[in-house]
Each structure stands twice: as C-alpha cells, then as structure tokens.
Amino acid sequence: MNIVAEGRDLRTTQVHESMTTTVVSCSPQDSVNKATELMRENQIRRLPVVDEQHRLLGIVAMADIVGCADLRTTETHETLKTVSAPTREPSKPRARSRKAA
C-alpha cells in the first residue's frame, strides 16, 4: 500500500524496498492468548510461527484463532478491532523497519 500511496511503479519496485524487516513471531509452544496479545500489540493479523533456529514453521492468522480457539468473544472482538483500527502511522513492526529508498 505504501508503494501505491507514494506513487511508485509496482513493476520496477522490488519487494525488499517495501517489506517489513522487523518480524514479530511466536513459537509453537506459545499460548493462543500470547499470540492474540502479540497481534493486538503490534496491529497485525498474521503471526509467523518459528522454531528455536528461527525457521518458519507456519503462520497463525486471526481467522485461525477465531475459528478454533476457546477465547471469550469480547477478547476476540477487541483484538480484531485493535488490529483493524485505521491509523496514520504504519503498524508497529513496519514502523520499526528500515525505510524504503
């Protein structure tokens, strides 16, 4: 979205120029509550799941949690509302990433 907002050419802009380099992740042993908290705190809907060597094992999405977790409806609703709230600033991981050239 930032590339489009900046009027940059999608055909010539490389992925590394717009990617988030500060990755928020969780481990397979983390609780669903922890994953939800990370999503809420960082305004993200998807969370990479990595092992001890930081290898990607999968991705847990807000939809995955809502679909199978035993969370209170109000907690799920609040997390989704926080993650989806429009802001003028980029999401926290993106804000901490290096700026594109």
Say what the pTM is.
0.64
- Would you state the pLDDT for residue 12? 92
* 41-89 pLDDT per residue, tens: 998 999 999 999 999 999 999 988 887 656 556 666 666 666 666 666 6
Closest CA to 90 of 43, 25, 48: 43
* 20-46 pLDDT per residue, tens: 888 999 999 999 999 999 999 998 999
Give first-to-last CA distance, the chain, whole Å: 15
Tell me if 96 sits within 8 A of 57, measured CB to CB.
no
- Would you state the pLDDT for residue 6? 84
Question: Is 6 among the domain residues?
Answer: no
Per the structure, the count of domains in the chain is 1
For strands 56-61 and 46-50, give the pairing: antiparallel
Question: Is 101 among the domain residues?
Answer: no
Tell me the CATH number at 69.
3.10.580.10
Question: Is 59 among the domain residues?
Answer: yes
> Which residues span the domain enclosing 80?
21-89
